[in-house]
Amino acid sequence: MKITDAKIFVGGPGKNYVTLKVLTDQGVYGLGDATLNNRETLPAAYLRDYIVPNLIGMDPRNSEDVWQFFYRGAYFRRGPVAMAAFGAVDMALWDIKGKLAGMPVYQLLGGKSREGALVYAHATGADLPDLMDSIAYYVDEGYKAVRVQCGIPGMPSASYAVPEKKGDIRNYITDYAGIRPKVEVWDTGKYMRYMPDALMEIRDHFGPDLYILHDVHHRLLPREAAEFAKAVEPAGLYWLEDPTPAEDQNALRLIRQHSTTPIAVGEVFNSIWECNRLIENELIDFIRVAVTYAGGITHVRRIVDLAGLHNVRTGFHGAPSHSPISMAAQAHLNAWAPNFGIQEYLVLGTSECNALFPSEHRMENGLMHVSEAPGLGVDFDEDEAGRYDYTPGSHPVVRLEDGTMWNY
């Protein structure tokens, strides 16, 4: 069996999805998602200029060897662009493999470990009352888990993932049109003095059963993160996410020494080598990698297995920049993984998105139910794709009040 061609599409409703369609000499095709948020043209170029010319003629069933070819063959290994590009190839080859076998991909991984996979939504508010309304909305929608992000009184700019104006409780903007980023100003002191009490008020209001998650988004120094994680212990969070930048994997040690608050890290990682020490030293409770940014199902499965040896559960990234294709691939991993934790679920879910990516995965009562269709269980309408073009966008950059460059 041979790969005969591969097509690359950039664009989609509200997002520059990068979709790969791998064609074969037996008519079976596979789909992959190479969307690297705000840098979408780069994996698309990597696919076009390097990967597709080498893919043609390969046997799509040899997904491991194809992965090794593009990983080792690059010489300059890893990085989000390359790993997103051949992550899409890997998803497409698993899609083809499932279609050939007549099985949903989760069956090829080891079958189901659960019927429904717990997901979480994003509640947001320019202030605490709005955030409370937002949480109530998602609880009424049947979600059992909600990420909560709150506007901080006195913060020079909007805090992370909150609306700029009061009243909007379901939408916040993180990607602004144009390639030159908006500059936001951050004040750690205001955040650290306000957020622990806000999280406790949320816990008191919604009771002990709601899973509450909060994303610090890399904003604190390790010591500050340790202090903050300790301060929020009474709120009983499901997890505290990205409390401090984790390139320095040892930095997470300080948090562990001072707090029992569960820690989730990893959405910015693109290989096992950026998180192996975090996992092996059990410095985190959830690993947040994504099949798009971390080299597809083949590599993420290795990370899941390493995490499983160290009582670390999965909490795959699922921001709106992930197309229904990578969310479908993650749905299969979520159904299989014995150490599954939770899935972030923010696929736009609009009628345009569903028309572009017909899918049989379904959400019900805060749980994601994986498709039983052969392969990934998602399709791609090329005619619909013709409606969309690439439109440059960028999320903000963050500075401290004295102008020091900080972490978005």
Where do contacts with ligand CS2 occur on this chain (CB under 6 A)?
37, 174, 215, 217, 267, 319, 321, 344, 395
Shortest gap between Cβ of 149 and ligand CS2 (angstroms)?
Answer: 9
Asked if 83 and 270 count as a contact pair (C-beta separation under 8 A), the reply is: yes
Q: Kindly identify the residues of this chain, within the stretch 209-238, that bind Mg ion according to CB under 5 A.
A: 215
For residue 360, the SS3 value is coil
The residue number with the shortest CB distance to Mg ion is 215
Tokens of 188: 């750690």
187, 211, 217, 189: which is closest to 199 by C-alpha? 211
Shortest gap between Cβ of 37 and ligand CS2 (angstroms)?
Answer: 4
- Please give the positions annotated as active site: 160, 217
Q: What is the DSSP string of 35-83?
A: --TT-THHHHHHIIIIIHHHHTTS-TT-HHHHHHHHHHTTSS---HHHH
- For residue 319, the partner it binds in Mg ion, ligand CS2, none, with Cβ less than 5 to 8 A by kind, is ligand CS2
Cβ proximity to Mg ion, 319 vs 363, nearer residue = 319
Altogether, the residues listed in the chain come to a count of 408
Tokens of 320: 């709106």
Cβ proximity to ligand CS2, 28 vs 229, nearer residue = 229
**Site for Mg ion contains 344 (CB under 5 A):** no
Cβ proximity to ligand CS2, 316 vs 340, nearer residue = 316
Determine the Cα–Cα distance for residues 356 and 352; give it in Å rounded to an integer: 6
For residue 142, the SS3 value is coil
Q: What's the alpha-carbon Rg for the chain, to the nearest Å? A: 21
Shortest gap between Cβ of 307 and ligand CS2 (angstroms)?
Answer: 18
- For residue 344, the partner it binds in Mg ion, ligand CS2, none, with Cβ less than 5 to 8 A by kind, is ligand CS2
- For residue 174, the partner it binds in Mg ion, ligand CS2, none, with Cβ less than 5 to 8 A by kind, is ligand CS2
Tokens of 330: 């993650």
Shortest gap between Cβ of 344 and Mg ion (angstroms)?
Answer: 8
Dihedral, 66, 67, 70, 72 alpha carbons, nearest 10: -120
Cβ proximity to ligand CS2, 130 vs 344, nearer residue = 344
* The one-letter amino acid at 68: Q
Distances (CA, A) of 228 to 3, 72, 191, 214, 249: 51, 41, 10, 12, 18
Shortest gap between Cβ of 264 and Mg ion (angstroms)?
Answer: 8
- For residue 40, the partner it binds in Mg ion, ligand CS2, none, with Cβ less than 5 to 8 A by kind, is none
Cβ proximity to ligand CS2, 175 vs 384, nearer residue = 175
Asked if 239 and 264 count as a contact pair (C-beta separation under 8 A), the reply is: yes
Cβ proximity to ligand CS2, 107 vs 174, nearer residue = 174
Shortest gap between Cβ of 383 and Mg ion (angstroms)?
Answer: 34
- For residue 144, the partner it binds in ligand CS2, Mg ion, none, with Cβ less than 5 to 8 A by kind, is none
Determine the Cα–Cα distance for residues 289 and 75; give it in Å rounded to an integer: 23
Q: Kindly identify the residues of this chain, within the stretch 158-217, that bind Mg ion according to CB under 5 A.
A: 215
- For residue 302, the partner it binds in ligand CS2, Mg ion, none, with Cβ less than 5 to 8 A by kind, is none
Cβ proximity to ligand CS2, 37 vs 326, nearer residue = 37
User: What are the beta bridge partners of residue 368?
Assistant: 117, 363
Asked if 61 and 69 count as a contact pair (C-beta separation under 8 A), the reply is: no
For residue 106, the SS3 value is helix
Shortest gap between Cβ of 174 and ligand CS2 (angstroms)?
Answer: 5
Give CA angle at 299 (270, 407), nearest 5°. 15
- For residue 224, the partner it binds in Mg ion, ligand CS2, none, with Cβ less than 5 to 8 A by kind, is none
DSSP 356: H
The residue number with the shortest CB distance to ligand CS2 is 319
Residues at the contact surface with Mg ion, assessed by CB under 5 A: 215
